[in-house]
Each structure stands twice: as structure tokens, then as C-alpha cells.
Amino acid sequence: MDMMRGEQIAQADLTHGRKLAQGLHARYLVSEFSTGASFVVAAGRAGDELGHHPIVSIGPGYVDLRLVSDDAIYRDDEGTEHVVQWVTKQDVDEGKEPQQRFHVEVYVAPEVVERRVAAAIAAGGTVVDDTDAPGLTVIADQDGNPGVVCADMSAVRRI
């Protein structure tokens, strides 16, 4: 696949990630390392479905993703093709509306459900569906990407 030039990448109007060095980079802030690990698992599943995986780095408070193709084609001035590591159309969904590529479920203890949902709302999110709350609450971020806050309510005493 042909490598994308800077102008082509800019025209893709990416909402997440920026072109740095040979790849597209994005940093996602997380409150807990375990949340970051769950995020990485979700990104891995999305990569499995697409047949193209990000390069991942995880640390306390963040997850970094880098998308790059190992088989990009670069043509020099003489027309000779070289295989390089660079951004290709496989790394950006050119011409399409951005779509959520992963599903996030956060499992918490029953006693912290209300705090987690309140924190999501305070961060700009909205409650999409709370008909099964507190066991399951669907929330969405500012862009409308849904996530689920889940708690196992089976051990909670009913009064």
C-alpha cells in the first residue's frame, strides 16, 4: 500500500492521534492502570477484527497507541519502490466518519457505581441508559461513544 504524504494525512481530518515520526500517535489518559489494561485489551480485539494492530505502551495514568504500516511503499525520484514503515490508508479511515472501534466496560464494586457514573458525567459524559442501574449503566463521552459501568449486584443484600 502506498505511504500517505502529510497533506493526505491532514485531509483525513483525524480526531484522535497526530502524525509524529513514522506513525500516528495518540495518548489516552486513564485513572487506574487496570483501566488502561482493559483499554489495551479492547484495542487488541479491534485490531484482531481489522487485521491491523496498534503498537501499545502503557504506564501509570496513560495508554499510548501508535498506528503504522510495516509495508508502506515509497517511490523515489527514479520511480524505484522501497518498502518502509509509514502511515498508509490502512492506518486512517479516509473519507469516513470516525467510528468507535472498541467497546469499554468498566466493572466496579457495587458501592462505587454512583461515584464512577458521577465522575463520567462531571468529565462531560452523559447517561444513555440506566434502566438496569446500578448493575449496568450505559454512558457516553462528549463524542457520543458509549461505554458501560457494570457491577455484580448478586451479593448485595436487598433491604
**70-114 pLDDT tens trace:** 776 778 888 887 776 666 776 667 444 545 555 678 888 889 999
Which residues lie closer than 8 Å to 103 by C-beta, 6 or more apart? Answer: 42, 146, 147, 148
DSSP state for residue 6 in the 8-state scheme:
H
At residue 4, the pLDDT reads 67
* pLDDT score at 93: 77
User: What residues have CB less than 8 Å from 70, skipping those under 6 apart?
Assistant: 85
Q: Which residues contact 84 (CB under 8 A, 6 or more apart)?
A: 3, 22, 72, 73, 74
Q: Residue 95: its pLDDT value, please?
A: 42
pLDDT for 114 equals 92
More confident residue, 159 or 7: 7
Of the candidates 87, 102, 118, the one whose C-alpha atom is nearest the C-alpha of residue 28 is 102
First to last CA, the chain: 62
Q: What is the pLDDT of residue 145?
A: 79
Whether this model's pTM surpasses 0.75:
no
- 6-27: average pLDDT: 68
